[in-house]
Amino acid sequence: MKIEKWPKGVNGWIMVKDNRITELCPNIFLIRGEDTSSHSYLIRGDYKNLLIDSGVDKNFSRLQKFLLTLGLKVRDIDIVINTHEHFDHIGANRYFQDYALIAAHRFAATKITVEDRYVTMYKSGDINEPSLNVHLWLENRFCFDLGNYRLEVVHTPGHSSGSICIYEFTRKILFTGDTLFAGGTLSYIGESGSVGDYISSISVLETRRINELYPGHGEISKTPEEDMKRAILNARALLRDEEGVEVTHFQEAP
Ligand SMILES: [Fe+2]
């Protein structure tokens, strides 16, 4: 697909006049989720356009509108990566899967493709929903080469068994899904998750040089080292059943 030239803003960045979309780095856009929906991140690559998390199903028309604002139709998205198997990150996959390759860690793919409504936290039981496909079953260290950006999958079980973070080498940024939030606030440890796995995963992330965190909910962070330390402390406190550990719960799908 031919990538069109964009009008340039300050520092060569694209100016987008919608506060729900932020260009975090050149050609990397945060599209904020609404209500229970996760954020989506769009990366306009030299070779392929890639979306990280599709958000909830009911958020799709909004996501579609924002993509159009950025000059993209649904069929222009070549790859959708799910950071994990929870409903608020995968729900709108169904609108992309006829055009794009859907990618998720294999432990997430197993739950998504068999419609495990317990682990994915879908409760609607709507049999009219088309099944979700996963075309690429990812493993740790799988890479996506987009030309201008190279993304590496880091398997980070803990929040769920199929959780991954996605590390971008040139900018040293980390897309974290629900694994790591600004301030080190914990997310709910899901049905397939484990606090022990979580601490181990964050310890692995701590060995990398990371400049910024781009999480699935809330604000981005420019203090990843502090956030990771805090997340491990919170997780250890959770294991000890201490009171006052802040854990974010996202609503379940209706
Ligand atoms: Fe989640």
Give pLDDT, residue 251. 54
Predicted pLDDT at 8: 40
CA of 12 to the centre of ligand 1 (A): 34
Cβ–Cβ < 8 Å for 127, 116: no
Domain boundaries, the chain: 18-240
pLDDT of 250 reads: 61
CA of 83 to the centre of ligand 1 (A): 9
pLDDT at 94: 93
What pLDDT sits at residue 188?
87
Q: Listing from the earlier edge strand, what are the strands of the sheet with 150-155?
A: 143-145, 150-155, 164-168, 173-177, 212-215
Please tell me the predicted confidence (pLDDT) of residue 9: 38
Q: Quote the pLDDT of residue 12.
A: 36
Dist. CA 195–CA 110, nearest whole Å: 21
CA of 87 to the centre of ligand 1 (A): 8
Q: Rounded CA gap, 243 and 87, in Å?
A: 28
Rounded to whole angstroms, the Cα distance separating 173 from 151 reads 10
Distance 121 CA to ligand 1 centre (A): 9
Are β-strands 173-177 and 186-187 bridged in parallel, bridged antiparallel, or unpaired?
unpaired
Q: Tally Cβ neighbours within 10 Å of residue 40.
A: 25
CATH architecture of the domain formed by 18-240: 4-Layer Sandwich (3.60)
CA of 74 to the centre of ligand 1 (A): 24
Distance 39 CA to ligand 1 centre (A): 12
210: exposed, middle or buried (Cβ count in 10 Å: 0-12, 13-18, 19+) = buried
Residue by residue, pLDDT tens for the chain (254 residues) are 333 333 443 333 344 445 689 999 999 999 999 888 999 999 999 999 999 999 998 889 999 999 999 999 999 999 999 999 999 999 999 999 999 999 999 999 999 998 888 888 876 444 456 789 999 999 999 999 999 999 999 999 999 999 999 999 999 999 999 999 999 999 989 889 999 999 999 999 999 999 999 999 999 999 999 999 999 999 999 999 887 787 876 655 44
